[in-house]
Structure 1
Amino acid sequence: MKVVTNPAYPFLADFFCHLSDCFETEGTTIYEGRNVLKRFNIEGCELVVKSFKVPFFVNRVIYTLFRKSKARRSYEYAFEILKRGSNTPEPLGYIEEYKHGLLSHSYSVSAYSGASDIREYMNGQLKDKTLLTALGVFIASLHQAGIFHIDLSPGNILYYKEQETFRFTLVDINRMQFKKITVQDAIRNFSRLAISREALSCVTREYARIRGLDEESFVRQTNQYSDRVYKKYASHLACKAWRKEGGNWFTQPYFQYVMANLFSHCPLFTKAVRDRFHKKRIRIYTSCILPFDFRKVFPESSQED
Structure 2
Amino acid sequence: MKLVVQPQFIDQKKEIETILTNFNNQGTLLVKGSRNTIKIFRLNDELLNIKAFKKPNLLNSFVYRFIRDSKAKRSYNYALRLLNNDIGTPKPIAFAEFANGMGLGKSFYVCEHIATEYTYRDLVENPNLDNHEEILRAFTVFCYKLHEAGVEFKDHSPGNTLIKINADNSYSFYLVDLNRMQFHAQMSFEKRMYNLRRLTPKKEMIAVMANQYAKLYTQKTEQEIFDLLWNLTSEFQMKFHRKQRFKKRIKFWKK
Q: How does 1:261-300 map to 2 (within 5 A)?
A: none
Q: TM-score, normalised by structure 2?
A: 0.93
Asked if residue 165 in structure 1 is aligned to residue 170 in structure 2, the reply is yes
Q: TM-score, normalised by structure 1?
A: 0.78
Aligned position for 1:149: 153
Asked if residue 200 in structure 1 is aligned to residue 202 in structure 2, the reply is no
8 Å CA contact 1:52, 1:107 repeated in 2: yes
Q: Which residue identity lines up with residue 44 of structure 2 in the other structure?
A: E
Aligned position for 1:13: 13
Aligned-partner Cα distance in 2 for 1:172–1:11: 27
Aligned-partner Cα distance in 2 for 1:85–1:5: 21
What per-residue deviation string (whole Å, max 9, x for no partner) do you get for residues 5-38 of structure 1? 1111123311332234311121111111121111
In the TM superposition, residue 150 of structure 1 has moved relative to its aligned partner by 0.8
Q: Which residue identity lines up with residue 89 of structure 2 in the other structure?
A: T
In the TM superposition, residue 122 of structure 1 has moved relative to its aligned partner by 2.2
Task: Identify the match of residue 241 of structure 1 among 240, 248, 254.
Answer: 248
Aligned-partner Cα distance in 1 for 2:126–2:214: 21
8 Å CA contact 2:62, 2:102 repeated in 1: no
8 Å CA contact 1:123, 1:194 repeated in 2: no
148-157 or 6-15, larger mean C-alpha shift:
6-15
In the TM superposition, residue 124 of structure 1 has moved relative to its aligned partner by 4.7
Q: How does 1:118-197 map to 2 (within 5 A)?
A: 118-127=120-129, 128-162=132-166, 163-179=168-184, 180-197=186-203
Q: CA RMSD, aligned part only?
A: 1.6
User: Which runs of 5 or more structure 2 residues have no equivalent in the other structure?
Assistant: none
Q: Which residue identity lines up with residue 19 of structure 1 in the other structure?
A: I
8 Å CA contact 2:63, 2:103 repeated in 1: no
In the TM superposition, residue 190 of structure 1 has moved relative to its aligned partner by 0.9
8 Å CA contact 2:72, 2:95 repeated in 1: yes
Aligned position for 1:276: none
Q: Which has more radius of gyration?
A: 1
Q: 1:185 to 1:55 in 2, by over 3 A?
A: same
Aligned-partner Cα distance in 1 for 2:68–2:2: 15
Q: Which residue identity lines up with residue 7 of structure 2 in the other structure?
A: P
Aligned residues: 248
Aligned-partner Cα distance in 2 for 1:126–1:92: 36
SS in 2 for 1:246: helix
Aligned position for 2:75: 74
Q: Which residue identity lines up with residue 233 of structure 1 in the other structure?
A: F
Aligned-partner Cα distance in 1 for 2:79–2:128: 29
Overall identity of the aligned pairs, in %: 28
User: Which runs of 5 or more structure 1 residues have no equivalent in the other structure?
Assistant: 248-305
Aligned-partner Cα distance in 2 for 1:220–1:154: 21
Q: List, as ranges, runs of 4+ consecutive aligned residues in structure 1 with deviation greater than 3 Å.
A: 123-127
131-140 or 8-17, larger mean C-alpha shift:
8-17
Q: 1:76 to 1:206 in 2, by over 3 A?
A: same
In the TM superposition, residue 198 of structure 1 has moved relative to its aligned partner by 1.4
Q: Which residue identity lines up with residue 107 of structure 1 in the other structure?
A: F
SS in 2 for 1:209: helix
Aligned position for 2:56: 55
